[in-house]
Structure formats: structure tokens, C-alpha cells
Structure 1
Amino acid sequence: MIGRRVVITGIGVQAPGGDGVKEFWSLLSEGRTATRPISLFDASPFRSRVAAEVDFDAEAHGLTPREIRRMDRATRLAVVAAREAVADSGLDFAGLDPARTGVAVGSAVGCTMGLEEEYRVVSDDGRDWLVDHSYAVPHLYRHFVPSSMAAEVAWQVGAEGPVSVISTGCTSGLDSVGYARELIAEGSADVLVAGATDAPISPITVACFDAIKATTPRNDDAAHASRPFDNTRNGFVLGEGSAMFVLEELESARRRGATVYAELAGFASRCNAFHMTGLRPDGREMAEAIGAALAEARVDPGDLDYVNAHGSGTRQNDRHETAAFKRSLGEHARRVPVSSIKSMIGHSLGAIGSLEIAACALAMRHDVIPPTANLHEPDPECDLDYVPLTARERRTDTVLTVGSGFGGFQSAMVLTRPGARAAA
């Protein structure tokens, strides 16, 4: 049973279509899309040439030339998002016990862009099989070891307690926050800066997803290429970004008068032990994760006001997820609004789970449910209320967010409005 109650008191976001939390929420609540032709490299040789990129200027965010040189793009996104979260929390990190302060960063593919860029240099664009390491940047080791991402965030906030990278594919952003919550709940730490980051829009990643035809080839209509639950969908749109949070114990947050966005009331994960990329059509493993998260939160399915779907825009995932909701939520699955923000900001792999947590916390704060953009022709097999096209005003006290990842990982988290449930 969970011990201390854990809440979000600070949010920081770097996402496609917006710089910071305010612009992120504006895009989601207005149902705008940030998917476009890839501009980070020449994508003309590839099958899928669309993505959701972050318009990110590291220097404008105060990163020094030395920091930019040693950090991969994903690390820079995480550091800037963490700074925003810390400022938003109002917490004086200099006054905290550093040994009771920790960091948990989720990432699916680590420092992909830095590694690929350096390999191109040392191999002369792949020409040389035997490479000359002396041409690499002196910080190449930091790109190779993903722990450098969490270390950079820890240095920013002075954390000397538990500092970890969680890498469970596309559920990393949920699992890192779930892990951070457990550390505070069990008393191993008092404050965690937690979240996820990924910057995978690079030739190697695009080529990998091209090979298995997971990403959309709808290159002539990039703005409407991500179509979760729509009958015309034909794959997901790759994205990038970061969302970071300040997590602390509820009573401590109340004593200092902090703004509390949401309580992390329940979390669970499962694995289907079935296939690296395949999903069972009945959604059993996701349904079990949802059931366990609801039970830990002491929330009945009928209490849910909103479900943030994984909603990647592949036929396999969308139908599997619809089945999981029906299996775990019963008749309430047909009443509760469900939506996918990947329709607007793409699928940023390990980062997306944290970006979706941010969307859920903001939906609760504003009592607005973000829509599923581009949903014009619903798949008859995806017959739930997927909030098409337009955001919906609704009192939102209890939210479920889920994630599904390669390897068979399935995770679920329940967020509740502070004061909406009795003390456990």
C-alpha cells in the first residue's frame, strides 16, 4: 500500500508547437497540430518524411556554449523543462537537504542525435568502416551513457539523493514519474524532479520505423498526418520533447502554500511477454495495469472524468487500447471522454508519457479536455467517445493516463484533484 501522498507542484514543458507550459496548453486546448515536414535533416530518401519538431533555441534559454557542446539535444530539452518546473513550483531548492532530493528521467532512445552526429563525423558520413575516434567531440562518452541526462538535471537542482534514468521504451515517461512517486511515498526522498525527454528525429530513427512501416507515409498533408482512432490512419508521426515535474509530499506542499496541480494517486505497469512489437487484440495486459492503478488510487471506473489514451495512430494500438478500456472500465468506457494528444504533438517515444501527464494535470486545472485532432472518420472498431476535433469543457477531478511500448510494456497512472478523495 502506498505511504505518503505525492503531488505535482511544478510543471515544465518543451513540446512541438510551443515554448513552455502556457504555449503547450494553448495548442492542445485549441486543437491545433504541430506536425510538419521534417526540417532537422534531409528526409527526402525516407518513406515517412513528417514529424513534430520542437522549435528550440538553447542559447535563448540561457544554456552556455559549453553546456550546449556537452549536452545532446534531448538533454538540453530536459534541462530547460526542469528549470521551468522548478521555477513554477516556488520551491527553494537551495534550502533543501540535497541527500533527500532526487531526479528520475525517462528516455527511450537516449542521446540518439548526438551519437549519430558524431558517428557521421568519425566515419566520414559512413564511408570508413574503421573510424578515427580523434575526430569525435571530447564529450562523446556523455552521449553514449544515458545516465548523463539525469546527471545534468541533478546538477541543475543540486540533487544528491536517488538519481536515475528509466528506459522502458514508450512507457518511460510514465514509468519515471511512477518510480519517483514511489521514492517519495516510501520515504526514500522528499522531493523529486521527474519526467522524460527524447529527441529521436534523426535519420537512424526514421529509417528504423520506416523498415517496420510504423510511421505514416502521409507526407503530402503533414499537418493532418497524425490520426488516432480514425479509419484513414496509417501510422504514427514521430515527435520530440520533454516534460519535467517537481513532485513532493502532499502535506509538505500544503504547509508551504504551494500550488498543487494533481495528486499521483495510483500507478501500475504490466508486460505482455508476447512479442517485441505486437499486441494481443484483447488488451488484457493494459486492462490489468489500469485495474491495478485504479485499485491503488481507491477509484472506481465510474469515477473517471477523462482518459488520456496512448492513441498512437496505428491500427494495432488503437484497437488494442479500445479493447483494454472496455475490459477494465466496463460500461463506463462508453461514457467517459477519451482523447489522444499525439494527434497534435506526435509520438515522442519515451518523452510522450510525461507530456501526457502534463496535459492531464493542465486539463484538471482548467476543466478542459483536449481533443483528438484529425478524427473525421472514426474506425468502427474504435467506438468510444474519442472527443473529436474540439476541446470539451468538463469538470475533471479524476483522470487516467496510459502508455503502451515496444517490448509489451503497459503502464497506467491515476491523477486526482487535491481534496477530491479521502486520505488513504
Structure 2
Amino acid sequence: MTEGRVAITGIGVTAPGAVGTKNFWSLLSDGRTATRRISFFDPSDFRSQCAAEVDFDPEQAGLTPQETRRMDRAAQFAVVTAREAAADSGLPFSDVDPYRIGVTIGSAVGATTGLDWEYRTVSDGGRLKLVDHEYAVPHLYNYFVPSSFTAEVAGALGAQGPSTVVSTGCTSGLDAVGHATELIREGSADVMIAGATDAPISPITVACFDAIKATTPRNQDPEHASRPFDGTRSGFVLGEGAAVFVLEDLESARSRGAHVYAEIAGYASRCNAYHMTGLRSDGREMAEAIRVAIDEARMAPERIDYVNAHGSGTKQNDRHETAAFKRSLGEHAYRVPVSSIKSMVGHSLGAIGSIEVAASALAIEHDVVPPTANLHTSDPECDLDYVPLAAREHPTDAVLSVGSGFGGFQSAMVLTSPERSGA
């Protein structure tokens, strides 16, 4: 593996309440929430009836009728967001060897929305045991294989290099970007289009999380239902969306005069090999991922200026990662600002890790730490600086972003400002 440094030169975001990177940052820096009562279907029969939905119009987003017909909602998010990232990067893709441009897309649940809708269609609302496939969308096969997400993005941008799908639950978005970074470092690609997408707001997904009581029943106040680290929290709010990046070798990006949002300085992933949904209280596995990511970035823990937390809003997770921060950062954990953007945009499963990487890069860009919205009541077991309610101006040259996923996955990434780090 080479010692190459990898830069983010393009960002695209499709998030609840904010389609487009500029709108996304405006929502975060204003501390606005995008959670509401589910509108995609009647949620009255469910325990949790709120979600963070994207107001997304495929036509307005630039998709043709054929593209809209062919692609599941999550694939549509991925393509539109990748096109934004490509345009933002200013990279002349036509001048790059297409075999040196790769794609890595993360997703936890694939084409859930499309599959749910198509089953209802071919089964006549679930009334037919023997379904009629002729009523299905012609491209139904694409819904069954998440690799179609990567294929669609590669086709949209003419990328013919290494192309993969990463599906590690709720760490998929971090892991996809981490994998793409490693492909550039090892010399397998010059440019990577990397990120994640998920559109899980469907009856089947809501029912699954209802069954394990992971999502909040705070239906009377959906705008303030997502409450990471708050003593009154009662579960997470389901979300959807996508974030995609253009990654390049840092020196190559500088030589063409590209704007560099951040350098991906360190990345690591671990698994607790413990329980599908349970977390050890001491946060050891997440702490180990954080330690390795910081070591790879060749910095001391005290240099971390901001921690973008997983912060799902479940008591188990919030206490688990609080313990992990203390274990990995030591006394610095009590001084560094920590926040969760899930308080504003919900938990979009596999996509959220990439959305949080976007928030981390933009925090470096603007020297502003996004807030943890809806944090009013302290939890004695969550006793760090969680930046409640309002964004905070703060010199931000190094950000730690972490994720935790079903199956025991724990991932961490360090982003830095190469211009201000002295490197």
C-alpha cells in the first residue's frame, strides 16, 4: 500500500429537509429538524409513526422518466447525489482514464421501498398467494440486487474501474468511504465515487423496528422526537437519504487546483462478535476502532476538535458510545464538542454514515459544529459536551466521525483540514 493521501473534492447530499449540499448545511447550522409524521403511507397502526422524509421529486432532480421507472428510490437518490458531487468537484471526468475511476456505494437495506411496493402490486395488496409477475415493474431484478446502485452510479458518470457495494448495516456509509479511500491509497484507482444511500421508510421496515421497540413512540411531537443523549429519549427516528463524494489523491487534487474540503486521514472498523442488536456497556470495540483510526491519522487524541457521534437516541447506544469516547480519548473526551445530526435528519440506516461524513467535512469547511437538537434534559450517564440546541463556532481542523450498526459493527473515521494541519 502506498502512503498516498486522499482528499474529498466533491460533495453531494440528499437529506430530509434539505436536497443539495448547501441546503443540508443550512439546515444543520440553523439547528432545524426535518422529522415529521410519516406521509408515505398511513402509519396509524404502528407504534412509531414519525420519520425524517426527503421531499424528493425525480423530475425536478434531473432524472428522466425512463430513469425514474427503472430505479428504486434509493438508487435515484444515489444517482442524483453522485451527479451533484461530480459537478461540485470540478473534475473533468472525460480527461480521466475511465478504468481508473471507481464506485463504492453503501446500503443497509437496498431497494426496500421498491420491493415493498412491487409486492403489494403483484399480490393485489397481499390478497393473492400466487402473484402475477406481469404486473411488476420491468426492471424488478434490479431491486433484488443492491449492486444495481453501484451500476447506476457508474453508468451515470462513466466509471469503469473497481465497483463495489458495501452493506454493513448502519456503518455502511462510513465503511464505503473507508473502502474507497483504501483503493486510492493502494493504487487501484485514481478517483473514487463513494458514499451511501437508503430509502427504508416503508411499512415492513417500520414494523420490524416496532417489534424490537428501537424507534420512538413520541408520535404527538414528531418534530422533536429525535433526542440523542437526552434523558427523555425513547428511541430513534427512521430516516432516508444519500451522500456521495468524489475522492482523489490529495496531491493530484492540489495540482489541478481543486477545492479540498477535507482529507480522510484515518479509518478503522471492528465488530463486537457479541449480539445482533446488543452493545457491551464499556464501548470497547468502538473505542478500538477510534484508536486505530486516530493512529492511522498519526495524531494524538487531543488533536480531535469535534466528534460527530452516532447518537441514535437509544439509551443503549448513547451510553455505549459515551463510554467509548472516554475510553479512547481519555480526559479530552470531556473537552471536545460532541453532537448528533440524527436529531435533525433522523437515522437513514446505511446512508447516515456518509451523510455524517458530509457534515464532518462541512464542519471543517465552516469552523462550525452542528448541534444536537432537542437536547434539554441531561442524562447522568451521558456527561460530555453534546452541543445542545444551537450550532457553535469552533476551530475545527480534525473531526472524528463514528458509526455503530446491527451485527456489532463499529467504525470510525478521522477527517482533517490539510491546509491548516501543517501537512
TM-score, normalised to structure 1, is: 0.99
Amino acid at match of 1:7: A
Partner in structure 2 of residue 22 of structure 1: 22
| Pairing of 1:39-118 with structure 2 (within 5 A) | 39-118=39-118
Q: Is the counterpart of residue 318 in structure 1 residue 294 in structure 2?
A: no
Tell me the secondary structure at the aligned position of residue 204 of structure 2.
Answer: helix
Partner in structure 1 of residue 363 of structure 2: 363
Alpha-carbon distance in structure 2 between the residues aligned to 1:422 and 1:289? 25
Partner in structure 1 of residue 126 of structure 2: 126
Q: Alpha-carbon deviations, 1:251-307, whole Å to 9, x = none? A: 100000000000000000000000000000000000000000000000111001000
Alpha-carbon distance in structure 2 between the residues aligned to 1:192 and 1:413? 17
Tell me the secondary structure at the aligned position of residue 230 of structure 1.
Answer: coil
Partner in structure 1 of residue 135 of structure 2: 135
Alpha-carbon distance in structure 1 between the residues aligned to 2:419 and 2:211? 48
* CA distance 1:128–1:224, change in 2 (3 Å): same
CA contact (8 A) 1:170 1:405 kept: yes
Alpha-carbon distance in structure 1 between the residues aligned to 2:7 and 2:392? 25
Amino acid at match of 2:85: A
CA contact (8 A) 1:30 1:391 kept: yes
Alpha-carbon distance in structure 2 between the residues aligned to 1:186 and 1:146? 25
Partner in structure 2 of residue 212 of structure 1: 212
Alpha-carbon distance in structure 1 between the residues aligned to 2:130 and 2:282? 48
Tell me how far 1:351 sits from its aligned partner. Answer: 0.2
Alpha-carbon RMSD across the aligned residues, in angstroms, is 0.8
* CA distance 1:2–1:357, change in 2 (3 Å): farther
Tell me how far 1:123 sits from its aligned partner. Answer: 1.1
Tell me how far 1:125 sits from its aligned partner. Answer: 1.1
Q: Alpha-carbon deviations, 1:141-182, whole Å to 9, x = none? A: 000011000000000110001011100000000000000000
Alpha-carbon distance in structure 2 between the residues aligned to 1:386 and 1:302? 17
CA contact (8 A) 1:2 1:296 kept: no
Tell me how far 1:2 sits from its aligned partner. Answer: 5.8
CA contact (8 A) 1:101 1:191 kept: yes
Q: Identity over aligned residues, as a percent?
A: 75
Alpha-carbon distance in structure 2 between the residues aligned to 1:208 and 1:366? 38
Q: Alpha-carbon deviations, 1:317-337, whole Å to 9, x = none? A: 000000000000000000000
Tell me the secondary structure at the aligned position of residue 264 of structure 2.
Answer: strand
Amino acid at match of 1:419: E
**Aligned residues between the structures:** 423
Amino acid at match of 1:389: L
Alpha-carbon distance in structure 1 between the residues aligned to 2:71 and 2:136? 14
Amino acid at match of 1:211: A
Amino acid at match of 1:22: K
Tell me how far 1:422 sits from its aligned partner. Answer: 5.6
Tell me the secondary structure at the aligned position of residue 220 of structure 1.
Answer: coil
Amino acid at match of 2:150: A
CA contact (8 A) 1:99 1:160 kept: yes
Q: Alpha-carbon deviations, 1:4-31, whole Å to 9, x = none? A: 1000000000001112011100000011
Tell me how far 1:420 sits from its aligned partner. Answer: 3.8
Partner in structure 2 of residue 229 of structure 1: 229
Partner in structure 2 of residue 390 of structure 1: 390
Partner in structure 1 of residue 336 of structure 2: 336
Tell me the secondary structure at the aligned position of residue 412 of structure 1.
Answer: strand
Alpha-carbon distance in structure 2 between the residues aligned to 1:363 and 1:324? 22
Alpha-carbon distance in structure 2 between the residues aligned to 1:421 and 1:57? 40
Tell me how far 1:378 sits from its aligned partner. Answer: 1.4
CA contact (8 A) 2:397 2:421 kept: no
Tell me how far 1:129 sits from its aligned partner. Answer: 1.8
Alpha-carbon distance in structure 1 between the residues aligned to 2:302 and 2:290? 13
Alpha-carbon distance in structure 1 between the residues aligned to 2:94 and 2:223? 44
Tell me how far 1:419 sits from its aligned partner. Answer: 3.1
Alpha-carbon distance in structure 2 between the residues aligned to 1:45 and 1:125? 16
Alpha-carbon distance in structure 2 between the residues aligned to 1:23 and 1:74? 20
Tell me how far 1:102 sits from its aligned partner. Answer: 0.4
CA contact (8 A) 2:266 2:415 kept: yes
Amino acid at match of 2:315: R
Alpha-carbon distance in structure 1 between the residues aligned to 2:176 and 2:422? 26
Alpha-carbon distance in structure 1 between the residues aligned to 2:30 and 2:228? 17
Amino acid at match of 1:130: L
Alpha-carbon distance in structure 2 between the residues aligned to 1:295 and 1:422? 17
Q: Alpha-carbon deviations, 1:54-78, whole Å to 9, x = none? A: 0001001111111000100001011
Tell me how far 1:138 sits from its aligned partner. Answer: 1.1
Q: Is the counterpart of residue 239 in structure 1 residue 223 in structure 2?
A: no
Amino acid at match of 1:121: T
Q: Alpha-carbon deviations, 1:351-396, whole Å to 9, x = none? A: 0000000000000000000000000001110000000001100110
CA contact (8 A) 2:2 2:187 kept: no
Alpha-carbon distance in structure 2 between the residues aligned to 1:422 and 1:133? 60
Alpha-carbon distance in structure 2 between the residues aligned to 1:165 and 1:123? 30
Partner in structure 1 of residue 163 of structure 2: 163
Q: Is the counterpart of residue 297 in structure 1 residue 331 in structure 2?
A: no
Amino acid at match of 2:317: N
Tell me how far 1:3 sits from its aligned partner. Answer: 2.1
Amino acid at match of 1:339: S
CA contact (8 A) 1:302 1:332 kept: yes
Alpha-carbon distance in structure 1 between the residues aligned to 2:108 and 2:57? 23
Q: Is the counterpart of residue 375 in structure 1 residue 375 in structure 2?
A: yes
| Pairing of 1:170-319 with structure 2 (within 5 A) | 170-319=170-319
Tell me the secondary structure at the aligned position of residue 404 of structure 1.
Answer: strand
- Following TM superposition, the consecutive aligned residue runs of length 4 or more in structure 1 with deviations greater than 4 angstroms are none
User: Which structure 2 residue ranges, 5 or more long, are not aligned?
Assistant: none
Q: Alpha-carbon deviations, 1:232-261, whole Å to 9, x = none? A: 000000000000000000010000000000
CA contact (8 A) 2:77 2:242 kept: yes
CA contact (8 A) 2:399 2:415 kept: yes
Partner in structure 2 of residue 415 of structure 1: 415
